[in-house]
Chains A and B, each alone.
Chain A
Amino acid sequence: MIGAGFLAVQLLPWWSVVLVCFSVGAILNMNGWKSFLCGLVAIFLLWGLSAGWDFHHGSYIIANRMGTLLGGVGGVALIFITGLLGGLLGGFGSMTGGYFRKMFRR
């Protein structure tokens, strides 16, 4: 899920990650909560680690300023917020995929 999410966004808009998780969630055929958790963790890691990498490689200035702008949080806190946001998107996506698949299960 992490790999596919990363590849998709190279060509498609940022929300393609949701579609990716939907597809993978459907393929993996897990039930509701498990599916959600899978997506959550995967994209939390994908977005969080990418943000962290960017932070470490020069984006710390803009991250700190953006943190101030978005309510006075620190740049590091923004890494977690980014991860969380991504995780939720991924989680809802794969959960929806799982339920989609479940509709066709008998």
Chain B
Amino acid sequence: MKAILKFGISALICLFFTILLDNPISVGKTTIPPLGKLLNPFTGFWQNGQSKTSANEVVYLEHEGLIDKVKIIFDKRQVPHIFAENTEDALFAQGYLLAQHRLWQMDISTRSSSGRLSEIMGTKTLKRDQLQRRRGMIFAAENALKQWKTSPEFSFVKAYTNGVNAYIDQLKPADYPIEFKLLNYQPEPWTPLKTALFNKAMAEMLSRANEDIEMTNVQKLLGDSITADLYPQLYPNESPIIPNEVAFDFKAIDNTETTPPSMGLIEHKVYSKPPSQLGSNNWAVSGNKTTSGYPILCNDPHLGLTLPSIWFELQLNTPDLNVYGVCLPGVPGIVIGFNENSAWGVTNVGHDVVDWYKIKWTNAKKEKYFLNGQEATASLKIEAYEVKGQETIYDTVRYTHWGPVVHENPVELDQDLAMRWVAHNSAGNELKTFHGLNISKRYVDYRKAITNFASPAQNIVYANKEGDIGITVQGQLPIRSIAQAITIQSGETTDHDWKGFIPMDQLPHVKNPARGFVASANQRSTSADYPYPYLSMHGSFEAYRGRTLNRKLDTMEQITVADMQALQTDVYSLKAAEALPSLLAFLENKKMNKSEKKYFNLLKQWDYKYERKAAGPILFNNWFSIFYKKTWDEIYTLDEQLEMSFPSNRRTIVLLNDVPEHAFFDLQETTEQKETAKEIAQVSFTEMVKKIEKWEAKGNVLEWSNYKKLDINHIGFIPAFSRTDLKVEGDSKTLNAIGRTWGPSWRMIVAFGPDKPKAYGIYPGGQSGNPGSTNYDDMLEDWAEGKYYELELMDRQ
């Protein structure tokens, strides 16, 4: 009896302990992953030691899915140089390698985009997932895939998919990337739809932003006259991408339009906007301005910075293809790069390509709505969410003539908003574009390749060995009036429907301009002469980097690669240069205490550069921020109740300089006085001094790189896999544009010459997505210091 008892208790303890270690444990808010699975040395994290390949390794890829042989040479940073006999095999290998190094990134990005995070993270991500599906992300990807399937380039996606799956198929649990082990789930097969989803995720990041709801409220609350004053579309001294001299001699499609009626106040909250500063710089200088006599092309896309990076470097080489550059994990081909003859790069066009329509349902069932006096039937899509640890949840998304209904009012029948977004069913074929660019030799090849590109609209810069440079504002851009673009429209009539899209051959472009360079930094595309109206998705084009870039390139001669590196890492701020003189002038004759005098002098001596050791950036940024908030106090108050758009920095500074008596400088709360810009400048200065004094008193050194913080977080926000509080220079408005969690995600310079081009590049991360690898974040420090690596376009092996 006693023996049975002893056995029983022992067996229970043993069983309990084993099961405990095989399952996740919830401790308060955190969940500890299954420790037995995670910690055992045979299948746990101990097996994630290094990446599956090493630097300087040569691999011969063999698989039944390959047509011919493939050789891969990894260089010292684990950049693979793929040598194949045909394009499909090269892309198969690309898929295989991206899976080998970035599998979890590919998985989580497409889950995030398609609203499937809850499958692995439970209810906390359910709302986010629902929003993604309501925005029509999967709808958009499915439409893109339908297009691809009709084109011969679909074989590229199939080959790539086969490559990814070839890698996944041979994985044992011990080989799963660490994040799968931590989140306790397995990789699933890749599909062409996922490639389309990744592209749409990029489209969302770069072209979904808009201020329609906010501006509808602004117009209703402030009236047309004040709105036009505070929120202008155009500024004095514009410096657009396409030089002013370029004439538009074509017959534009008629786009005159009556102003649509106001839709009243919109109570819906705007969820999760993409960050407003994502943008980029690119430019190409002609041989007339370089010491070599050949063009130099540069590009640095500004995106959210993560570990692993959004980019992966590689070379693709076949008898018909030899291209080097960066690719997106999940998408075949090279997105930004160069070959022996051509180089190209992209910046975001940033036009508003989203419109919202107010739907009037016929009854509470919300199945039919009024359109042009008739009843139209909405198409109802049932979305299923498999939530971890729960029953599947169902949600209905209603698709109207305009697009999916994203904002719903649970009570009223006429407040729902449907979203129309170019990316939902864009006509383009990115596969054709990138392949066309990858093999391009001449300017005409570049133009042919890019006509297939629809979304997200990009300023595509080009240069080649023959000496041509050019830039095109390329994308599918809707034809409608500014008034329609700015605010919410009625969804009951097709009167204000888009009149179509700007024909591809009427999109702004320029080749070999007289000034000897082409450049873009997300500023206004054209002069006011362009016959099609357009709007910035952020309200207006502030163009600090754009104007700085054009001015600098205009004066530069005898340009070298070093000059281009200096330009990409330039930290001069036009915003500070335009605002500070007036602000300082308003302090003349003001009585100042010791601290105030000290900071005043530092600001007077400052050269507007956001350098590491400078004090000016800290003082100016804080001063202007407080000044801005006090100036627009009325709008902040209104914003507490309803979504409001805020006047731009640029307009604020124009008023500061030219209209210091403007009514809005008056502070709401001080009813006895009427403030002007001068009083606001002084009050803000005093506040800023107190704030920074306190900060210095805590032991902080008054240097920009101490104050400015950059976090490069792991995609899953696991602190142990992230790099935070990096010391950098620059700020969001300088050419070297760096925010809190975003910045130049890739820097590339391609210099043509009589032989192969010489190229330089770097990104803040590492080729391997494995936090256990030495190539996970090995390039970070060099990037922060503004260094570059030589990029090798290897000869055919």
* Chain A interface (Cβ < 8 Å from any Cβ of B): 9-10, 13-15, 17-18, 22, 32, 47, 50-51, 53-55, 57-59, 61-63, 65-66, 68-70, 78, 81-82, 85-86, 88-89, 92-93, 95-96, 99-100, 102-103, 105
Judge whether A50 and B46 touch: CB under 8 Å: yes
Residues of A within 8 A of B39 (CB): 78, 81-82, 85
Question: Which residue of chain B has the shortest Cβ distance to A53 in the bound complex?
Answer: B41
Judge whether A66 and B40 touch: CB under 8 Å: no
Stretch at the interface among B295-303, B378-386, B524-532, B716-724: B716-724
A-B contact list, 30 entries, CB within 8 Å: A9-B40, A14-B40, A15-B18, A18-B14, A22-B14, A47-B40, A53-B41, A54-B46, A55-B46, A57-B49, A59-B45, A59-B50, A61-B771, A62-B49, A65-B771, A65-B772, A69-B718, A69-B719, A69-B720, A69-B721, A82-B46, A85-B35, A86-B40, A89-B18, A89-B21, A96-B7, A96-B10, A99-B3, A99-B11, A102-B6
Judge whether B37 and A99 touch: CB under 8 Å: no
Question: Which residue of chain B has the shortest Cβ distance to A46 in the bound complex?
Answer: B41
Q: How many residues of B contact A (CB 8 A)?
A: 40
Judge whether B45 and A85 touch: CB under 8 Å: no
CA gap between A51 and B720 in the complex, in Å:
20
CA gap between A37 and B13 in the complex, in Å:
15
Judge whether B178 and A62 touch: CB under 8 Å: yes
Besides the known contacts A47-B41, A61-B771, A102-B7, 12 further A-B residue pairs in the complex with CB atoms under 8 A apart:
A9-B43, A14-B36, A14-B40, A17-B40, A22-B14, A58-B49, A65-B721, A92-B13, A96-B7, A99-B11, A100-B11, A103-B7
Judge whether B6 and A99 touch: CB under 8 Å: yes
Known: A66-B45, A92-B13, A96-B10. A59 touches B772 (CB 8 A): yes
10 A-B pairs with least C-beta separation? A62-B772, A59-B49, A50-B41, A99-B7, A69-B720, A92-B14, A68-B720, A58-B49, A54-B46, A96-B10
CA gap between A89 and B17 in the complex, in Å:
7
Question: Which residue of chain B has the shortest Cβ distance to A15 in the bound complex?
Answer: B18
Residues of B within 8 A of A81 (CB): 39
* Chain B interface (Cβ < 8 Å from any Cβ of A): 3-4, 6-7, 10-11, 13-14, 17-18, 21-22, 32, 35-37, 39-50, 178, 182, 718-721, 770-774, 776
Distance in Å from the Cβ of A12 to the closest Cβ of chain B?
10
Residues of B within 8 A of A93 (CB): 14
Task: Name the one of A47, A62, A96 contacting B771, with C-beta atoms under 8 angstroms.
Answer: A62
Secondary structure of the A side of the interface? helix
Distance in Å from the Cβ of B30 to the closest Cβ of chain A?
10
Judge whether B21 and A85 touch: CB under 8 Å: yes
CA gap between A99 and B11 in the complex, in Å:
9
The A/B interface has a contact count, at CB < 8 Å, of 122
Residues of A within 8 A of B182 (CB): 69
CA gap between A82 and B47 in the complex, in Å:
13
Question: Which residue of chain B has the shortest Cβ distance to A68 in the bound complex?
Answer: B720
Residues of A within 8 A of B22 (CB): 15
Residues of B within 8 A of A92 (CB): 10, 13-14, 17-18
Task: Name the one of A13, A59, A85, A95 contacting B46, with C-beta atoms under 8 angstroms.
Answer: A59
Q: Which of A14, A18, A53 has the most CB of B within 10 A?
A: A14
Residues of B within 8 A of A63 (CB): 45-46
CA gap between A71 and B644 in the complex, in Å:
43
Distance in Å from the Cβ of A73 to the closest Cβ of chain B?
11
Judge whether B14 and A96 touch: CB under 8 Å: yes
CA gap between A52 and B618 in the complex, in Å:
48
Known: A92-B13, A99-B6. A61 touches B773 (CB 8 A): yes
CA gap between A57 and B772 in the complex, in Å:
12
Distance in Å from the Cβ of A4 to the closest Cβ of chain B?
14
CA gap between A75 and B505 in the complex, in Å:
60
CA gap between A48 and B14 in the complex, in Å:
20
Distance in Å from the Cβ of A68 to the closest Cβ of chain B?
4
Judge whether A103 and B17 touch: CB under 8 Å: no
Judge whether B43 and A14 touch: CB under 8 Å: yes
Distance in Å from the Cβ of A31 to the closest Cβ of chain B?
10
Residues of A within 8 A of B41 (CB): 47, 50-51, 53-54, 82
